[in-house]
């Protein structure tokens, strides 16, 4: 326990040294909320990965690969497709962001659809949907501390320790804002995905060479994908990949990465840097999980595959390193979520109705981050039985932002009524369907509740965009927006 916790402490101390050296720049809200759009491609790439892949990748998706096999690869497909999507929208979003000083995702909605209400609706959907995932992230850290304590800590003690660590870490998120998040993401990302990938490759080698486990030895069911006549339905995999790829950019803490880059070149270069690392990390993790499933201990506890194999291969030192890697991945995701939520509370909820100066915006953003940290910490310490179901519900809900967001970026025709109606009806439909048919909809051939609602959402958006005429002034305004990005 001293070794494993000592390694965690060493990592945390190094992180604090880095954070302490960062100067807070808060002469404008843009400096605080998007780091003054100043980050180069390598920072952008690592910041994207560190926010995209949470620590739960090692437990939930590593565990899924161990328990269910090749279907877990859907996470790799959608994670790479979402970068392709970023490449396509980078130019438009960054130019609009820079020209109109956009700081949050709802800012973009408000600009494109010329509506104050849409800013509130998008922010509320984003904030409400993000909380269950924040709480789950904190609880996942508790699972990690429990394993690393080698039985010395109970689950509730471990969760409280995890919450305490992540809450202390937020001192710097609140103090420095986005600048601190991105710079620390670079360090955390190097540990989580560069060191993490190398560790995964070493563990795969150990499983093959020392344990004689090969993919060919695994049960044939591990390689099945749901097709016609399957229990999940023939469109299940399609649904998972589609909603994953589109949904990624609906999370406010992912979307805001588009505003932190110092230019379109920086964004596109970051995509070219992040994708190979994302592929290496994702493929290595999932193959590792599948190979690990051959161990009896993993078969009994698939979600602990990362810790079980690390401990068996390299004892307590490697177990400690596995903990450091998971902590680094978790921190990036949680920090990003808290930072984006604080910025939205000040900018899109309070600032949408009350005139705030720069100092007040930053103050309310900091207070928002503090409040969301305390609320999530408190919720994480409670045993909430429906938390995971709430998180699934939240995901099906937030992807409803995708239709007005992507069509708004790529199509001139949409209007505020279409956008607000489609995403609100989509959000309510997704939640209603998930409550009525938890897990799967019997008549939808494997489409998830979010995917079915997305179709309805798209239909409403297109019909209202064609059916409702816009004023001449609004048409001119939207045309001018698109002229800015057409070269």
What residues line the site for other proteins (CB under 8 A)? 70, 73, 76-77, 80-81, 83-84, 87-88, 91, 215-216, 223-225, 227-228, 234-235, 237-238, 241-242, 263-265, 268-269, 271-272, 275-276, 278-279, 282-283, 287, 485-487
- Going by C-alpha positions, the residue among 372, 341, 369 that lies closest to residue 127 is 341
Q: Find the shortest distance in angstroms from Cβ 240 to other proteins.
A: 10
- Looking at the Cβ atoms of 6 and 276, the one nearer to other proteins is 276
The dihedral sign for the CA sequence 232, 235, 238, 241: negative
User: Which residue lies nearer to other proteins by CB, 174 or 271?
Assistant: 271
The nearest distance, CB 14 to other proteins, in angstroms, is: 31
Cα torsion 70, 75, 76, 79 to 10°: value is 170
Least distance in angstroms from the C-beta of 430 to other proteins: 20
Cα 451 → chain centroid: 19
CA–CA dist 401, 258 (Å, integer): 16
Structure-block tokens of residue 422: 């489609």
We find the least distance from the C-beta atom of residue 234 to other proteins, in angstroms, to be 6
Measured from the CB atom, is 181 or 204 closer to other proteins?
204
Min dist CB 116 to other proteins, Å, is 30
Sign of CA dihedral 16, 18, 21, 26: negative
Residues pairing with 261 in the sheet: 39
Q: Which is nearer to other proteins, 122 or 290 (CB)?
A: 290
- Select 2 or 228, whichever has its Cβ closest to other proteins: 228
**CB of 287 vs other proteins, minimal distance in Å:** 8
Which single residue is written with the structure tokens 């001139």?
Answer: 412
Q: At what angle do helices 402-410 and 236-247 cross, to 10 degrees?
A: 60
Name the residue nearer to other proteins (CB basis): 272 or 463.
272
Question: To the nearest whole angstrom, how small is the minimum distance from the Cβ of residue 266 to other proteins?
Answer: 9
Neighbours of 317 (CB within 10 A): 13
Whole-angstrom distance, CA of residue 122 vs CA of residue 370: 21
CB of 323 to other proteins, least distance (A): 28
Nearest by Cα to 341 from 253, 250, 247: 253
The SS3 call for residue 412 is coil
Kindly list the distances between the CA atom of residue 139 and the CA atoms of 160, 161, 334, 397, 410, in Å, as whole numbers in the listed order. 9, 10, 11, 22, 38
SS3 at position 394: helix
Q: Which is nearer to other proteins, 275 or 376 (CB)?
A: 275
Q: Which is nearer to other proteins, 140 or 447 (CB)?
A: 447
Taking the least distance from each CB to other proteins, the nearer of 277 and 367 is: 277
* Integer Cα distance of 266 and 45 in angstroms: 9
How many angstroms separate the first and last alpha carbons of the chain? 60
Residue with Cβ nearer other proteins (124 or 194):
194
Nearest approach in angstroms of CB 238 to other proteins is 5
Q: How many whole angstroms separate alpha carbon 120 and alpha carbon 114?
A: 13
Nearer of residues 111 and 271 to other proteins, judged by Cβ? 271
Those residues with Cβ within 8 angstroms of residue 31's Cβ, 6 or more apart along the chain or in another chain: 25, 177, 179
Closest CB 347 distance from other proteins, rounded Å:
27
Considering the complex, what minimum distance in angstroms separates the CB of residue 87 from other proteins? 6
DSSP, res 409 = H
Shortest Å distance, C-beta 12 to other proteins: 33
* For other proteins, the closer CB: 379 or 444: 444
> Residue 470 gets which letter from DSSP?
P
**Residue 121 contacts residue 344 (beta carbons within 8 Å):** no
Cα angle, residue 187 at apex, residues 181 and 192 outer, rounded to 5°: 105
């Amino acid at each position: 326990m001293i070794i494993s916790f000592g390694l965690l402490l060493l990592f945390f101390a190094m992180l604090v040294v880095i954070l302490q050296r960062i100067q807070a720049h808060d002469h404008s809200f843009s400096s605080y909320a998007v780091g003054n759009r100043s980050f180069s491609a390598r920072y952008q790439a690592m910041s994207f990965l560190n926010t995209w892949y949470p620590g739960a990748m090692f437990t939930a998706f590593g565990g899924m690969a161990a328990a269910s096999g090749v279907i877990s690869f859907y996470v790799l497909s959608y994670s790479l497709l979402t970068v392709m999507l970023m490449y396509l929208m980078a130019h438009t979003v960054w130019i609009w962001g820079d020209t109109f000083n956009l700081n949050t995702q709802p800012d973009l909605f408000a600009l494109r659809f010329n509506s104050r209400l849409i800013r509130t609706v998008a922010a509320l959907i984003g904030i409400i949907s993000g909380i269950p995932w924040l709480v789950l992230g904190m609880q996942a850290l508790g699972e990690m501390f429990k394993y690393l304590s080698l039985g010395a800590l109970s689950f509730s003690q471990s969760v409280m320790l995890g919450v305490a660590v992540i809450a202390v870490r937020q001192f710097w998120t609140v103090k420095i804002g986005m600048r601190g998040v991105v710079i620390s993401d670079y360090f955390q990302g190097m540990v989580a995905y560069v060191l993490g990938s190398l560790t995964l490759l070493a563990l795969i080698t150990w499983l093959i060479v020392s344990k004689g486990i090969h993919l060919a030895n695994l049960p044939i069911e591990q390689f099945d994908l749901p097709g016609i006549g399957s229990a999940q339905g023939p469109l299940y995999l399609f649904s998972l990949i589609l909603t994953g790829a589109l949904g990624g950019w609906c999370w406010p803490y992912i979307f805001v990465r588009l505003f932190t880059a110092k230019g379109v070149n920086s964004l596109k270069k970051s995509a070219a840097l992040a994708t190979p690392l994302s592929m290496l990390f994702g493929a290595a993790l999932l193959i590792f999980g599948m190979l690990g499933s051959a161990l009896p201990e993993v078969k009994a506890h698939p979600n602990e595959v990362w810790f079980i194999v690390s401990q068996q291969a390299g004892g307590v030192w490697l177990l400690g390193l596995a903990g450091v890697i998971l902590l680094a991945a978790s921190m990036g995701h949680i920090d990003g979520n808290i930072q984006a939520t604080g910025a939205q509370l000040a900018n899109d909820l309070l600032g949408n109705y009350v005139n705030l100066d720069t100092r007040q915006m930053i103050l309310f953003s900091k207070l928002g981050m503090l409040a969301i940290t305390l609320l999530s910490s408190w919720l994480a310490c409670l045993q909430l039985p429906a938390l995971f179901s709430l998180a699934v519900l939240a995901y099906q809900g937030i992807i409803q932002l995708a239709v007005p967001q992507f069509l708004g970026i790529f199509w001139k025709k949409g209007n505020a009524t279409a956008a607000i109606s489609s995403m609100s009806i989509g959000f309510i439909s997704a939640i209603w369907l998930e409550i009525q048919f938890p897990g799967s909809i019997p008549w939808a051939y494997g489409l998830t509740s979010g995917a079915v609602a997305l179709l309805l959402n798209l239909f409403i958006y297109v019909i209202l965009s064609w059916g409702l005429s816009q004023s001449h002034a609004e048409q001119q305004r939207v045309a001018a927006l698109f002229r800015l990005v057409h070269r």
